[in-house]
Amino acid sequence: MNAAVAVRDLTKRYGDLTAVDHVSFDVAAGEIFGFLGPNGAGKSTTIKMLCTLAEPSDGTATVAGYDVRQEQGAVRRNIGLVFQDPTLDQYLTADQNLRMHAELYGVPRAELKDRMTQVLEMVGLADRRSALVSTYSGGMRRRLEIARGMLHAPRVLFLDEPTVGLDPQTRSSIWSYINDLRKREDITIFLTTHYMDEAEYCDRIAIMDHGRIVVLDTPEALKAGVGEDRVQITTVDDDAAIAALQEQFGITGRFAEGQLTFSVPSGEQFVPRLFAELGVAIKSVSVSRPSLDDVFMAHTGTTIRDAETVGNRELMRMFGARRRL
Amino acid sequence: MTATVDVVEAIRVKRPTGSFRHDLRAVRVVWQREMIRFTRDRLRIITSLIQPVLFLFVLGTGLSTITTGSTHNVNLRTFMYPGALAMAVLFTAMFSAASIVWDREFGFLREMLVAPVSRWSIVLGKCLGGATTASLQGVIILALAGVVGVPYSLSMMVTVFGELLLLAFTLTAFGVMTAARITQFQAFMALNQMLLMPLFFLSGALFPLGNLPGWLQVLTRIDPLTYAVDPVRRTIFAHLHASPAMMARLNPGVTWGSYRVSTALELLIVAAMGIAMLGVGIWSFKSAD
């Protein structure tokens, strides 16, 4: 029982669509573990199975040492959940929402008052605790949901896209709360995101695409593994430029986000040569150090934004296939 | 934005193992939530009173101008009073059940369904909440007794309240059972509109069920609401002073052929239906993962 989450060959099929395809991984206790991937990659479906909200088609998983199929009640008592979509009662106050949650999760009454104050302070909402949730901003609601997810002192906190739809400033404040949380409580945090920059906060990242984990490592190791700088150019004739790249430099370029994109060991030194020798007029050029975007691209052959446009279509299909709860 | 974290020892919360007592806590808190929302929503309290008051005072008073000769000393409003009580309960109970559909649309249902409690506790809490709010609504109409010539007798009030509570529970159970299947608010409301009026008209709330033509006789006996309105009327008429002939006309009770169905059996029918529908509701939510 050393791993907080242990997953073996977990699979979920909706009709002929395989949303999650034989996924295996372990999350150590105390870790911030991130699932990164475009919409429709299978992140949310995996989380749902781990939270006992969806029955796995195949494979096994344990959360906090309990089997997600055999011991649903024990799993639910030991996890906190923050969904993508809000699940607060807007017509109740923050306090009433927390109290409701505490009763549903059986938090002992003697400890409840202190614990409520503690989680509210943790997310900076203690002074607004008596206000109706309908008066809260989007960021405050998300913080309240995180506080509520923590109220019953779960061993594993699942955050499904905790910052989606929030402005950048609120996003970074949510992240500082998540970081605080990990330092204060003995907890494992399991989250999904499709923001590359947010994945940097995680101890380890699993990149998911088309229902599979394509790679799993620390952000640093992932970036080091890619190594090369990314160069993106626009030219007057991209087809000619692709051919010239191959011919002059032996580099295979591809189109991503509407730009001709390729990787070279040292971008700054390569650019002058590029201008001199390509033979096709260049309109713009940008060089970037390896980021998780490049990691994603190296492993999936596409950028996450391009994958989203395909992924969204798959998501639509999935929504057609299931429509309950 | 990034605060320096002074390490605070987190309060260790003991995680209880699942138990019956824990489920009962869940029943209570779901019930409490209904009460909080009910008391907060004054507009809803008033709007659900409009219909029964309209029927009682406008329709009742208006129609009494043509019926005075035949009802002697019993006012038509007095006769329709049990119907108005049933109506107040009917609309509030349905509205409570509709809040399940509402909760689903706004996500809160999920917060309840992922909690480590038995599904029956959520559904039961919801039904009890709906039953309580609906019978409180009935109490407001009950307070108008004097205005329609019904004496304020404590024993009568208590009995009627109990009967309304039972009716409200069964109606909420019906609504919850339906809400488990119908996931869209509009569809749910449309179904209610389609069902409520026929149920109400056929229940004997507006006319005595004594000398009806055969087809209407049959329809009124099929209507479950009939078995909830009649006990209320019997309780109230027991406290009125009217000639035996008038009693027989206005309070004939429900008959199956020549058998006059007893109050106990009527209440049993309502209770049995409520429990059966509660069961189906729980089962529906259990299988809706």
Mind listing the pLDDT tens digit for each residue in B251-280? 888 888 888 889 999 999 999 999 999 999
Please indicate if any CB of chain A lies within 8 Å of the CB of B44: no
pLDDT at res. A248: 83
Mind listing the pLDDT tens digit for each residue in B151-173? 899 999 999 999 999 999 999 99
Q: Do A100 and B26 touch (CB under 8 A)?
A: no
pLDDT at res. B183: 80
Mind listing the pLDDT tens digit for each residue in A168-183? 887 787 788 788 878 8
Quick one: three-class SS letters along A106-135? Answer: CCCHHHHHHHHHHHHHHCCCHHHCCCEHHH
Longest alpha-carbon distance in chain B: 86
Q: Nearest CA of chain A to the CA of B192: how many Å?
A: 21
pLDDT at res. A308: 65
- What is the band of A323 on the pLDDT scale with cuts at 50, 70, 90? very low
pLDDT at res. A181: 78
**Over 70: is that where the pLDDT of B28 sits?**
yes
In A, minimum Cα distance to B121 occurs at A104
pLDDT at res. B288: 63
Mind listing the pLDDT tens digit for each residue in A4-55? 999 999 999 998 889 999 999 999 998 999 998 887 888 889 998 999 888 9
**Chain B neighbors of A83, CB-CB under 8 A:** 107, 110
**Over 70: is that where the pLDDT of B180 sits?**
yes
Mind listing the pLDDT tens digit for each residue in B30-71? 999 999 988 888 888 888 888 889 988 898 888 888 876 666
Please indicate if any CB of chain A lies within 8 Å of the CB of B13: yes
Which has more pLDDT, B11 or B219? B219
In B, minimum Cα distance to A322 occurs at B289
Q: Which of A64-73, A157-166, B127-136, B138-147 has the lowest mean pLDDT?
A: A157-166
Q: Do B16 and A89 touch (CB under 8 A)?
A: no
Beta bridge partners of A193: A36
**Over 90: is that where the pLDDT of A128 sits?**
yes
Beta bridge partners of B199: none
Q: Do A325 and B288 touch (CB under 8 A)?
A: yes
Alpha-carbon distance A122 to A88, whole Å?
A: 18
Nearest in space to B60 (alpha carbons), one of B207, B165, B167:
B207
pLDDT at res. B4: 43
Q: Nearest CA of chain B to the CA of A265: how many Å?
A: 35
**Chain B neighbors of A139, CB-CB under 8 A:** none
Q: Do B13 and A83 touch (CB under 8 A)?
A: no
Average pLDDT over every residue of B216-222: 90
Q: Nearest CA of chain A to the CA of B54: how many Å?
A: 30
- DSSP per-residue codes, A203-233: SEEEEEETTEEEEEE-HHHHHHHH-SEEEEE
Average pLDDT over every residue of B196-204: 90
**Chain B neighbors of A107, CB-CB under 8 A:** 13
pLDDT at res. A163: 80
The partner residue sitting opposite A87, judged by closest CB among B1, B22, B110, is B110
Would strands A259-264 and A254-256 be described as parallel, antiparallel, or unpaired? antiparallel
Q: Do B15 and A153 touch (CB under 8 A)?
A: yes
Q: Do B115 and A101 touch (CB under 8 A)?
A: yes
How many Cβ pairs within 8 Å bridge chains A and B?
Answer: 123
